[in-house]
Amino acid sequence: MGKKKKRSHVGDIRLFSGSASSELAHKIAEHLDLPLEGHDLVCFPNENLFVKLHSSVRGQDCYVIQTTSSPVHNNFMELLITLQTLRLDSAARVTAVVPYLCYARSDKKDQPRVPITARLVADMISSEADRYMTFDLHAGQIQGFFSIPGDVLSSFSILTDHLKALLPNMYQPVVVTADLGFAKKARNFAESLQTPLALIEKRRTGNDARAKAMGIIGEINDHDVILVDDEIDTGGSIAEAVHLVKQFGARDVYIVFVHAVLSLNAAERLAALPVKQFICTDTIPIPPDKAAAFGDRLTVLTIADLLAEVILRANQGRSVGALFDE
């Protein structure tokens, strides 16, 4: 007797790749053994975007995979327009799969007369999608800005599994965070890797991207250092941190981060640092010229298999939390 197909009340999975995440979307599709659905994306001379689906999605479970890295506003509008197109075509359910969520650092009013743009972004996604998925939000509380349910996933086990394989070659490794906002997560890294933890105090001097590393809490002299952070944007924070740990007697330095924003000349800036290895994920694709700057010191770990599994479970109405316990 043939295997009974598990039917989902939200229809079959339909995967759509946004233009910012095509490599990741292809990997997810391959893992699920499903095609990427065809659609046209047109940019008119006035810069307005237009989307047309190649076939109907009525009654189907649709996933739009689109990260919101540079060019941020184009990619974000493309995401919203694609979500709306699917909704208007009577999809049973539409999920925004946004591996890197833009504006996540604008998550509070920490000075008078400023916006909370992460809330605005969440509102706009919530207005067009039924659900969302994202990775390693800058602050967990951003989940509360969404009025739709979502899966905020973590690349923690992907990164720590890789680091565990490197540990035997490290000398007295210590996990260090360059950002006190990342301290709890850094502690989880240290616990998982069974290493001590040290913290760098960093201050931003204005609303521009400048960061200054002030001092270190913890012992790093004569240790290999694993510097962890959620994202590297201009590379300013991490460059300061590397100089500081070297000044305090660190041996080899490894830089581990989730989101490779790598704005401006960050890639060249990082590549010039005395760092043994850079390890990150593919929530944001790294353009070949930027990747080339790192040579063989860059390792990009994929989130595709995890995301594919989560999409499958979401479609089948199975627990995603249980996946992380398995």
Concerning whether 202 is annotated as a catalytic residue, the answer is yes
Query: Is position 285 an interface residue for ligand R5P (rule: CB under 6 A)?
Result: no
Return the number of the residue (231 or 282) whose C-beta is nearest ligand R5P. Answer: 231
Taken in order 27, 28, 31, 32, the sign of the CA dihedral is negative
Half-sphere exposure of 64 (CA within 13 A, CB side): 34
Query: Is position 69 an interface residue for ligand R5P (rule: CB under 6 A)?
Result: no
Q: Which of 6, 202, 212, 246 is catalytic?
A: 202
Long-range contacts, 125-129 (Cβ 8 Å, 24+): 125/79, 125/80, 125/83, 125/96, 125/98, 128/80, 128/83, 128/84, 128/87, 128/94, 128/96, 129/64, 129/83, 129/87, 129/94, 129/95, 129/96
Query: Is position 176 an interface residue for ligand R5P (rule: CB under 6 A)?
Result: no
Residue 150 beta carbon to ligand R5P: minimum distance, rounded to whole angstroms: 21
Return the number of the residue (151 or 229) whose C-beta is nearest ligand R5P. Answer: 229
* Alpha helices (H) along 3-116: 22-32, 72-88
Query: Is position 232 an interface residue for ligand R5P (rule: CB under 6 A)?
Result: yes
Residue 63 beta carbon to ligand R5P: minimum distance, rounded to whole angstroms: 27
Return the number of the residue (239 or 303) whose C-beta is nearest ligand R5P. Answer: 239
What's CA 221's distance to the chain center, in Å? Answer: 32
Return the number of the residue (286 or 314) whose C-beta is nearest ligand R5P. Answer: 286
Which region among 1-9, 56-64, 176-184, 217-225 touches ligand R5P (by CB under 6 A)? 176-184
Query: Is position 233 an interface residue for ligand R5P (rule: CB under 6 A)?
Result: yes
Residue 265 beta carbon to ligand R5P: minimum distance, rounded to whole angstroms: 12
Which residues on neighbouring strands pair with residue 152, listed in sequence order? Answer: 134
Which region among 51-59, 81-89, 117-125, 234-242 touches ligand R5P (by CB under 6 A)? 234-242
Tokens of 301: 């770990």
Q: Please give the residue ranges that form the binding site for ligand R5P (CB under 6 A).
A: 105, 178-179, 181-182, 209, 211, 229-238
Question: So which residues are the catalytic ones?
Answer: 202
